[in-house]
Amino acid sequence: MYKGHLGIKKLIFKTDKWSEYSKQVSLCSVDGDKYLSILHNNYNYSLLKYIKETREWLSITESRMNLSNLKFYNGDKYLSIGDLKIKYKIFLYEMNYCVIFRNKDRDPEFIDYFLYDLIKDSLEIVYISGISVTQDPTNNIIKLHNNTDTNTNFIDNVDNSVKNSIVTGNADDEIDNGNKLDNGIILNINGNMNKKYIEYICTRNNKFKQISFDNYTVWSASDTKEYVEKVSYYSGIDKYLMIFLHNNKHLLYYRQGNLENWIDITYKRVDLKKIHLINEDKKRLTNKDYDCWMRNFLCEIRPKKKVEEILINKLNLLYLNGYYDEIIDRIAIDFIYDELIIVFKNAKIIAFNISNLKVKLIQHD
């Protein structure tokens, strides 16, 4: 059901077939247009668009990629996903049809996951090494192993080519200067780029040892063992830099307006190291007990086991709001808005603002 203007409810989707029941539903608004995607029990998807003139939801699924036509090339054969001897998981990630592969052999050139953007009708393939390939959906062949011999467009081993980077568009607009140090790479970000979110990943066994913005040094390694694996940049009225260190720590920097100085605000925001998920045996979940994704200053955690407690500074967020009997579907953390959101299997949501080690409830279903 959709609650539209004047509170009028309209039926959008209904089925009596179990295979077509919805496993997940995502709703979003892009440039004033509303979209709704459905992941069905049979792992097919439906995409609907709201037509303002008729105030009706129209299925536009036929205009998108038929995922059943996808073939996976292993260097020898073209296989369907059901023929792969690899475990995988399918779900909706925002408005993306996402498939994550769980290959025991962590070959860096092997596929990690792929995302099909239902709205933009674009396919992104990400390999374990961090290399990302954007592919036209009319090409229904996905390589299980990335052929690095064909990847030659590098700036001193910083992977910023269109084919191999999470960044899309002209790479020269994004990385103004990639100079190689004796023990690492200098990343100098061009502040004149016209993009809201950008991620930089250093590949080919090199690491970032210094992060600069328009030649202003924001961060540099304090010793030879310290380095950065990934950097995220957000450009709005204010600007943010998120730096991911090799030891699973992160740093968050903030720049107000057109000021030159960047301020380290890591200690004021959500600290992943201080969030502990506790199972039924009163033990902390390890990284094997949940799936975790980081993208565009958002962190999403999907537990594989039941979570009894979510502790921040010894405060249990579930007991605080009487949700100790509910089953958690996912936990989302927004580092820019400093919010932690808990989504339950029954679609209830609670959200907190966490700032300066203080926890404040901001939404409660």
Percent of the chain at pLDDT above 90?
13
> Which residues lie below 8 Å from residue 364, measured CB to CB, with a gap of 6+?
321, 350
Residue 97 pLDDT: 93
- How much is the average pLDDT of 276-289? 88
Written as six digits, the tokens of 57 are: 């939801």
Buried (b) or exposed (e) across 307-328, using 16+ Cβ within 10 A? bbbbbbeeebbbeebebeebeb
Check if the beta carbon of residue 242 is closer than 8 Å to that of residue 250.
yes
CA torsion 331→196→229→224, rounded to 10°? -120
- How much is the average pLDDT of 193-202? 77
| Confidence category of residue 314, pLDDT binned at 50, 70, 90 | confident
- Tens-place pLDDT, residues 40-52: 888 889 999 999 8
The mean of the pLDDT values for the chain is 78
For the chain, counts of helices (H) and of strands (E):
2, 32
Residue 105 pLDDT: 64
Residue 222 pLDDT: 85
| 173/191 Cα distance (integer angstroms) | 9
Residue 204 pLDDT: 55
- How much is the average pLDDT of 46-72? 90
- Concatenated DSSP letters of 19-81: GGSEEEEEEEEETTEEEEEEEETTS-EEEEEEETTTTEEEE-GGGS--GGG-EEE-SS-EE-G
Instruction: Kindly report which listed range (114-118, 247-251, 276-280) carries the lowest average pLDDT score.
Output: 247-251
- How much is the average pLDDT of 79-102? 85
Residue with tokens 């408005």: 95
Residue 46 pLDDT: 93
Residue 151 pLDDT: 30
Written as six digits, the tokens of 15 are: 């089925």
Residue 167 pLDDT: 25
Top pLDDT among 104 and 133 is at 133
- How much is the average pLDDT of 142-159? 48
Residue 365 pLDDT: 56
Top pLDDT among 338 and 363 is at 338
- How much is the average pLDDT of 186-202? 80
Residue with tokens 């023929």: 83
Residue 299 pLDDT: 86
Residue 217 pLDDT: 93
Check if the beta carbon of residue 307 is closer than 8 Å to that of residue 279.
yes
Top pLDDT among 45 and 245 is at 45
| Confidence category of residue 288, pLDDT binned at 50, 70, 90 | confident
Using the predicted structure, report yes or no on whether residue 162 has a pLDDT greater than 60. no
Residue 181 pLDDT: 45
Residue 344 pLDDT: 87
Residue 295 pLDDT: 76
The SS3 assignment for 266 reads helix
Written as six digits, the tokens of 269 are: 């925001």
Written as six digits, the tokens of 326 are: 């509910």
Using the predicted structure, report yes or no on whether residue 16 has a pLDDT greater than 50. yes
Q: What pTM, to 2 d.p., does this model score?
A: 0.50
Q: Which span out of 134-148, 317-331, 335-349 was modeled with the highest average pLDDT?
A: 335-349
| Confidence category of residue 255, pLDDT binned at 50, 70, 90 | very high
- How much is the average pLDDT of 53-66? 90
Using the predicted structure, report yes or no on whether residue 59 has a pLDDT greater than 90. yes
